[in-house]
Amino acid sequence: MLEDYLDINPEVTEAVRAGKPVVALESTIISHGMPYPRNVETALRVEQIVRQQGALPATIAILGGRLKVGLTPEEIGTLGKLGLKVHKASRRDLPFLVSKRADGATTVASTMIIAALAGIRVFATGGIGGVHRGATETFDISADLQELAHTNVAVVCAGVKSILDIGLTLEYLESNGVPVVGYQTEEMPAFYTRESGFKVDYRVDSAKEVAEALKAKWDLGLNGGIIIANPIPAAYAMDPAIISEAIARAIAESEETGIKGKDITPFLLDRVQQITGGHSLDSNIQLVFNNARLGAEIAIELSRL
């Protein structure tokens, strides 16, 4: 039945069947996260980094209603050029985009779903969604968190996007049994910065340690993912005061203009980029590269177990 909806690149199919390391990559970062052509350049560079580490990249998207695992460079280029014209696709959107034969760029949640369907267990991204600031009134909580509670895919990220409420996000994850581990850190990174003031559940110091925990979790039948929070490299981290001021301005503007729902995150990231003179975009790209390297290392260690 899955073949009616799912197209897996033959190279990815062969790697999964052979137990070789594969790293899933999302596509929202291509269409909604960066301007063209830098989005395409970044996506192709991320795939190159994964290959250089010894794993196989599998960028995921929805094209013509087909769930695609392992995009070609041409398909990545098409997504990048279309940009915001492509639907931002989370769990709730999948059946409608498929039935309407539409295009969709996958979020963390939908990338996890499609990766799991393809047998891929490790996913590298920039930052996960979470509980939005002011959620005690708006109840704006990303579907990423529920997906992490149920879908057996490990997510390597630079923490929760700093435009969100990190403390409430961590509480929500704890309530849903999602382990949050810090890679070579005891503090939850905050996307653009290495510190947030919040502690992780566990510290891990090697990719092998992560892989062993993943195997134990899933062998025990404990469904759901694990967050591997990988701090942005120090050389590319932003000044906390500068990024906090930029985020506050962007949030105020979103409230004034009434932007809500799935449009809010792309708007905030774009405004922060503009306010910081592009520095936040540079940091964003570097943290994605860093996560791709670690994701490949974890996939390799997991394939050895």
Q: How far, in Å, CA of 56 to CA of 120, rounded?
A: 11
Cβ contact 130:172 at 8 Å: yes
Which residue among 161, 262, 297, 301 is the active-site one?
A: 161
**Would you state the structure tokens that stand for residue 79, as one six-digit string?**
């997504």
Q: Furthest-apart CA pair in the chain: how many Å? A: 53
Cβ contact 70:81 at 8 Å: no
Which residue among 26, 47, 147, 301 is the active-site one?
A: 26
- 142 to 217, 238, 262, 293: CA distances (angstroms): 24, 25, 9, 26
Q: How far, in Å, CA of 289 to CA of 287, rounded?
A: 5
Angle between helix 279-304 and 264-275 (nearest 10): 120
Cβ contact 190:212 at 8 Å: no
Cβ contact 97:157 at 8 Å: no
26 is an active site residue = yes
Cβ contact 30:284 at 8 Å: no
Q: How far, in Å, CA of 45 to CA of 104, rounded?
A: 21
161 is an active site residue = yes
Q: For residue 169, what are the contacts with CB-CB under 8 A and spacing of at least 6?
A: 130, 131, 145, 160
Residues noted as catalytic: 26, 161
